Amino acid sequence: MANAPMDSPMSSPINSMGERPLTSITAEGAAAGFWHGPPEIEREVVGLFEQFRGSLLRYVLSFGLAMHDAEEITQEVFLALFRHLQLGKSRKNLRGWIFCVAHNLALRQRHAIQRLRDGAAQDQGLAEAKLDPSPSPEEQVLSTERHRRLVATLQALPEQDRRCLNLRAEGLRYREIAQVLGISLGAVSLSLTRSLTRLMRTDNR
């Protein structure tokens, strides 16, 4: 997986400079002076934030991260975008750039969390048992066999295939998915075709 095309490495979604974190990236925040740069760049980043925040959050959450981690990563992505544009870097396919940065930050955050879990395996096992209770009788009644089969098929897909499906569901084009995941265009097409074929075969049983 290629590193995100960022201006400086980021080890976590927490601001490594110790600066006050943004609670949100809004037009009001820009006007209040959280950023320092040309106003046209501020307006552009705010517009992109409003356009892509929801889909970006959903994609980051698909890595199994908590909402507060996903929010921080989303904010860090757009701060990185602001720095990227402020330095006059390429504006080619900014949507793909945004998702690529988010992908790498989410992976790093997930790996960091996994290292903490590995260091306290017994306590984590107890916590996971509490966070993952057995379905209630009502949920079992509502759960259909078709739903269970589809979920099982999705969970059985390789991680890269699931990522391709998630990104495609967020409206990214094949070329953009290839950029985010660092794979070829042909690999994206093959992955999506394979996954959709499996889902349709499962649904038709």
* Residue 78 structural domain: 8-133
Domain stop point among 84, 118, 133:
133
Q: What does each C-alpha distance from 177 to 24, 60, 105, 137, 152 come to in angstroms?
A: 26, 14, 16, 40, 24
* Model pLDDT, residue 146: 74
Q: Mark whether 193 and 173 lie in a shared domain.
A: yes
Q: Mark whether 32 and 109 lie in a shared domain.
A: yes
Q: Mark whether 39 and 111 lie in a shared domain.
A: yes
Domain stop point among 133, 162, 194:
133
Q: Mark whether 166 and 125 lie in a shared domain.
A: no
Helices 174-181 and 185-203: crossing angle, nearest 10°?
Answer: 110
How many domains would you assign to the chain? 2
Listed range (22-36, 55-69, 123-137) with the worst mean pLDDT = 22-36
Nearest to 86 by CA among 5, 3, 7: 7
* Model pLDDT, residue 42: 86
* Model pLDDT, residue 98: 95
Nearest to 53 by CA among 24, 84, 27: 24
Per-residue pLDDT tens digits for 74-125: 988 998 999 999 888 999 999 999 999 999 999 999 988 888 877 765 555 5
Residue 2 lies in a domain: no
Q: With bands split at pLDDT 50, 70 and 90, how would you rate the model's confidence at 73?
A: very high
Q: What is the pTM of this model?
A: 0.61
